[in-house]
């Protein structure tokens, strides 16, 4: 994050004003909240994390410049790191307790619901992706364009697209492993084609 | 059409890396090939916007604004030149904090009220209850400057519209102010209280040199021998004193004896607040004592007893997170308990 010159900090605090934080909350809390909920899948926990995000933003504003141009990207950046921290912790706790989070076995169902089954599979495959691929995809799902994601993750649009491509490749591999028919995929020649 | 799209073509198309003409080719192909369309559809769903109709509760906004005030107080406090006289600056900080908090509460809840003062009534429940040193009768009206005292076995209620204050035994409470404009100000001179509000009434507490400012909450206060304890079941409570500034969330307890620490709400205290009775014997204090007995100055969550590597900040951080998780779980338990109680009450009312 671009820091404020140290000398300025003592003289003048740039802290976000009450009206600014209210405005920011009213503007962005809903979309940040949906972004968090995509990651933690729990309403109460997402509310706690949402509060954390805004408190972190306030603290950040004490030392660094927060303005209407960078505030949305900042909120997303903070939300992302908060979610990653939480996911790491949850994983650790569940591993300590020996009950790994179970990914429900999705039944692809009868032929008629091919896409429903695939989409369920795709969604559970997203959860297994690494960073930053997972964040990019969750941000895309939250309605952000590549241009909007770029300042959040500090990656160029081209890099973002390449990362998405590698994520898509991974998801396709997962689908293939699950036995889904993928046209044009030479690797699946041993799979059944008689759909 | 002969052949299907290749992996590469699909990936480039879905990720947006494909050139205009390549994208056009894919679009053309999938318009006539249902198999490729299925897979392009499925993979495109990965990066497509997906609406979620979930919204955060309004209380989160309030909490964020409270936190803003807290940080603002800290920042404006830090900006004043710090001289050796720490006590002085701390007192200034506290004064500024209470002014800012009072003003903000005034702003938040300062809606037009029909009456000038809140209608307060005192109901003696058990034992000796005195108002201004005379025995209280049922449903005595309370004005500002009224002092309520309870004996060794005394229990009393002060109630207003959508607000109830339970007064425990051997307690002394003064109503120092009662106006709709600036709220009710209770002074807890000694003893214990359970405060339950369902909104609409503005109120605050003074205990010694600390101010307790709740926002739409159910909580318990205990002030004995100069030591103040707060246990919060619902909502949020801020305690401001000469060298204290704490925000106690639902599911947390705090004691002035360990003024910089929060602990998880004791189930006994929780059930006392829910039932509005002071049956259990001093659970807030018990909790405090247990903490002070534990080795070292740091309070550790009950589960992680073994670890001894203190002083590492990341460890402390993990611990804090762990504690937060525990208190979250407890809060959920409490919510569940309250729901059951509500249903029970409903059932009783019907009878």
Partner-chain contact A161 B47, CB within 8 Å = no
Would the ipTM clear 0.95, i.e. be above it?
Answer: no
Residues of A in contact with B71 (CB under 8 A): 15, 55, 58-59, 62
Predicted structure pTM score: 0.46
Residues of B in contact with A51 (CB under 8 A): 60, 63-64, 67
3-state SS assignment for residue A114 = helix
Residue A88 sits at the chain B interface (C-beta within 8 Å): no
Residue with token string 């028919």: A181
At B281 the pLDDT is 47
| Contacts made by residues B289-293, CB under 8 angstroms, sequence distance 24+ | B291/B258, B291/B261, B291/B263, B292/B257, B292/B258
Residues of A in contact with B35 (CB under 8 A): 181, 183, 195
Name the CA dihedral angle for A5, A7, A12, A14, rounded to a multiple of 10 degrees: 20
Could you tell me if B156 and B182 are in contact, meaning their C-beta atoms sit under 8 angstroms apart?
Answer: no
Residue B36: C-alpha distances to residues A114, A116, A186, B5, B25 (Å): 12, 15, 14, 7, 12
Could you tell me if B126 and B154 are in contact, meaning their C-beta atoms sit under 8 angstroms apart?
Answer: yes
pLDDT tens, residue by residue, B295-336: 333 434 344 334 444 445 677 777 777 877 887 888 788 788
Which of the residue ranges A40-54, B226-240, B273-287 would you say has the lowest mean pLDDT? B273-287
Residue with token string 């997962």: A174
Instruction: Looking at the complex, report in whole angstroms how far the Cα of residue A69 sits from the nearest Cα belonging to chain B.
Output: 21
Residue A118 sits at the chain B interface (C-beta within 8 Å): yes
The two beta strands, B203-207 and B172-179, are: unpaired
Cα–Cα dist B250/B254, whole Å: 11
Stretch B211-215: mean pLDDT: 82
Any alpha helices (H) in chain A, and if so which ranges? 6-11, 18-40, 43-63, 71-96, 114-126, 133-141, 146-153, 157-177
Partner-chain contact A51 B67, CB within 8 Å = yes
Nearest to B75 among A13, A181, A182 (CB): A13
Partner-chain contact A118 B60, CB within 8 Å = no
Stretch B167-185: mean pLDDT: 85
Partner-chain contact B39 A18, CB within 8 Å = no
Of all residues in chain B, the one with the smallest CA distance to A12 is B79
Max intra-chain CA distance, chain B: 100
More confidently predicted of B183 and A188: B183
Q: What is the pLDDT along chain A (195 residues), one digit of tens a residue?
A: 444 333 333 334 578 888 888 888 988 998 999 999 888 888 888 888 999 999 999 888 888 888 888 888 999 999 999 988 888 877 766 655 544 444 444 444 444 445 666 777 777 888 888 888 989 999 998 989 999 999 999 999 999 999 999 998 888 888 778 776 655 544 433 333 343
- State residue B230 phi and psi, 5-degree precision: -130, 130
pLDDT at position B124 over 80: yes
* Beta-bridge partner residues of B177: B185
Which of the residue ranges A154-163, B136-145, B166-175 would you say has the lowest mean pLDDT? B136-145
The two beta strands, B183-197 and B203-207, are: parallel
Q: Which of A16, A20, A27, A51 has the highest number of chain B CBs within 10 A, making it the mutation to test binding with B? A: A51
Instruction: Looking at the complex, report in whole angstroms how far the Cα of residue B259 sits from the nearest Cα belonging to chain A.
Output: 22
Instruction: Looking at the complex, report in whole angstroms how far the Cα of residue B254 sits from the nearest Cα belonging to chain A.
Output: 20
**Cβ count near A141 (within 10 Å):** 21
Partner-chain contact B46 A168, CB within 8 Å = yes
């Amino acid at each position: 994050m671009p820091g404020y010159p140290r000398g300025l900090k003592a003289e003048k605090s740039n802290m976000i004003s009450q009206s600014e934080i209210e405005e920011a909350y009213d503007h962005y809390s809903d979309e940040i909240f949906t972004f968090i909920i995509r990651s933690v899948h729990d309403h109460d926990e997402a509310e706690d994390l949402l509060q954390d995000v805004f408190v972190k933003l306030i603290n950040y504003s004490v030392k660094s410049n927060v303005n209407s141009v960078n505030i949305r990207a900042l909120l997303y950046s903070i939300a992302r790191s908060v979610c990653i921290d939480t996911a790491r912790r949850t994983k650790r706790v569940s591993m300590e307790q020996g009950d790994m989070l179970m990914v429900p076995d999705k039944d692809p169902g009868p032929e008629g619901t091919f896409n429903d089954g695939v989409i369920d599979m795709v969604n559970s495959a997203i959860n297994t992706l690494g960073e930053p691929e997972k964040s990019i995809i969750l941000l895309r799902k939250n309605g952000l364009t590549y241009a909007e994601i770029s300042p959040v993750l500090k990656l160029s649009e081209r890099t973002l697209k390449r990362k998405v491509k590698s994520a898509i490749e991974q998801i396709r591999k997962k689908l293939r492993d699950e036995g889904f028919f993928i046209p044009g995929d030479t690797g699946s020649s041993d799979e059944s084609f008689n759909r | 059409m002969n052949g299907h799209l290749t992996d590469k073509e699909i990936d480039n198309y879905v990720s947006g890396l494909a050139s205009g003409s390549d994208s056009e080719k894919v679009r053309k192909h999938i318009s006539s090939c249902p198999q490729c369309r299925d897979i392009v559809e499925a993979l495109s769903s990965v990066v497509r916007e997906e609406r979620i109709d979930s919204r955060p509760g309004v209380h989160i906004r309030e909490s964020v604004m409270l936190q803003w005030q807290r940080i603002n107080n800290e920042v404006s406090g830090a900006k004043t030149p710090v001289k050796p006289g720490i006590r002085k600056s701390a007192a200034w900080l506290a004064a500024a904090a209470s002014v800012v908090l009072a003003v903000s509460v005034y702003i938040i809840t300062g809606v037009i009220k029909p009456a000038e003062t809140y209608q307060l009534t005192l109901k003696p429940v058990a034992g000796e209850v005195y108002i201004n040193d005379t025995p209280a009768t049922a449903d005595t009206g309370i004005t500002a400057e009224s002092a309520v005292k309870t004996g060794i076995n005394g229990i009393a209620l002060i109630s207003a519209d959508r607000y109830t204050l339970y007064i425990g035994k051997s307690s002394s409470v003064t109503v120092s102010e009662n106006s709709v404009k600036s709220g009710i100000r209770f002074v807890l001179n000694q003893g214990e209280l359970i405060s339950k509000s369902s909104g609409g009434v503005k109120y605050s507490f003074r205990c010694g040199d600390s101010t307790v400012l709740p926002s739409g909450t159910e909580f318990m206060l205990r002030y004995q021998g100069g030591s103040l304890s707060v246990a919060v079941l619902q909502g949020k409570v801020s305690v401001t004193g000469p060298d204290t500034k704490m925000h106690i969330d639902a599911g947390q307890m705090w004691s002035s004896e360990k003024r910089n620490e929060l602990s998880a709400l004791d189930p006994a205290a929780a059930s006392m607040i829910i039932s509005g009775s002071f049956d259990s014997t001093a659970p807030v204090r018990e909790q405090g004592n247990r903490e002070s007995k534990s080795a070292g100055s740091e309070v550790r969550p009950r589960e992680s007893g073994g670890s001894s590597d203190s002083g590492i900040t990341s460890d402390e951080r993990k611990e804090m997170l762990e504690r937060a998780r525990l208190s979250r779980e407890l809060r959920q338990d409490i919510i569940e308990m309250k729901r059951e109680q509500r249903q029970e009450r409903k059932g009783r009312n019907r009878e």
